[in-house]
Chain A
């Protein structure tokens, strides 16, 4: 078991190394013009330069901040709303059609609306990111709260558990797997929307950096930015998985 896990790790590293080698090879042999495709060596150098000058670091922090605020806002709103809607059957009946109508709406469609209402501002970015990443969270939370075993509510009634205790000791932990799955999906959406908003509104962040680099044909800088975005996506997803497996240790016992 352990050995096969290690084997897969090694294999996936080998694939990544292979891709980078191919990339270097392609760049060295100028399959694609260096104006568009810098080698990994040049992209790496640009990354280092960006960090030492402090520019890139500021952009990185900018993107992380946009993403984090939007995601946190979505999490708070999504869990609170989802808990309210999910734990009441009548609420679900009233709200479900509206949700079904709003859910398939591409978030990109509301960006012009947000710009018209809030201008090219941080507030607009926050609104767009929060709104876009709200959906997976909201739907996950509603499902989680709706699926709480009714028998457990009866156990609570027999014990005379206070309302708050029922929410925090029974409903919330029972819905936790669905909520966390929603939070993981939202995280990806938040990153995508943070980049889009930075590009559109010229906010300080990697989106803006990538866009400006592309316009100025600084392909090495462009690739450095894209690589950083990939790292953000990877690291946040990893952190989320770690948090999930820690919070849901009890589910491991099930397998």
Chain B
């Protein structure tokens, strides 16, 4: 006699706690199942890192979360609502920063693009641009064109433009993948500080297992052909993280081992 009541409870919508929810998401592109299936929840303020072998569907999953792809099965929801198109609350940091910036606009102009689009009055833009550039460590480079900047500076600029959207969520696709180790570590810490200050949710795709553990509250490992979740790890490391102490922490080493074994087995 208790069964109908249980069925009712199960049919009620999932708790609104999850900011982004993948519910049995599947995606077929050109007749090929790229993702089948992913169920995953990301809560507000969380940093979720996604790792997996090359071609396992990390970028595709991120594009689904951005609303740039529509799932062919299941649903992607943002704050309970189905994602039908990209939203301004969700900013995307692309890996290929060189392609994502407007080469004919200066650093200030590139940030202005986002401000113009969200309808900020021209009089307020300049102050906001200065503030954002300072935030990402580009103060004094406002008049430079992207081609006059190093890779690290260009990626900082892209992040600043994303912050100009005032996003609740940052989706980042291997944002530091093309940078050298030193620049990369610097940017990791800057990003963590920015995120801590804004409280934004982050979904961070990376090839680098250590980077995933260093940044994340949780790490999800995807399996290939078709893409699906193969591993979920909670990262119980103290914040703020530290490039030396965190990476030497026994828990860090344990997680690294687990991820390494996972990737090895999945290949």
Contact = CB atoms under 8 A, between A and B. Distances in A.
Interface stretch (B10-18, B45-53, B96-104, B220-228): B96-104
Contacts of B116: 165, 169
Given A173-B102, A254-B147, A160 B86 contact: yes
**Chain A interface extent, by class:** 20 to 34
B66 interface: yes
A151 B99 contact: yes
B90 to A, nearest CB: 7
Interface in A14-46: none
Given A159-B165, A169-B113, A253-B148, A152 B99 contact: yes
B100 A250 contact: no
Given A151-B94, A165-B117, A169-B113, A250 B86 contact: no
A253 B117 contact: no
Nearest to B114: A159
Best-buried of B91, B96, B105, B113 by chain A (most CB within 10 Å): B113
B145 interface: yes
B131 to A, nearest CB: 19
Contacts of A147: none
B88 interface: yes
Interface residues of B, number: 27
A248 to B, nearest CB: 8
A180 to B, nearest CB: 12
Contacts of A1: none
A131 B103 CA distance: 33
B92 to A, nearest CB: 5
Contacts of B96: 151
B68 interface: yes
A161 B92 CA distance: 15
Nearest to B94: A151
A230 B88 CA distance: 55
B160 to A, nearest CB: 13
Interface in B200-237: none
B104 A174 contact: yes
Interface of A: 149, 151-152, 154-155, 157-161, 165, 169-170, 173-174, 176, 248, 250-251, 253-254
List 9 A-B pairs, minimum CB-CB distance, nearest first.
A253-B145, A151-B99, A250-B104, A159-B117, A158-B86, A254-B147, A173-B104, A157-B86, A253-B147
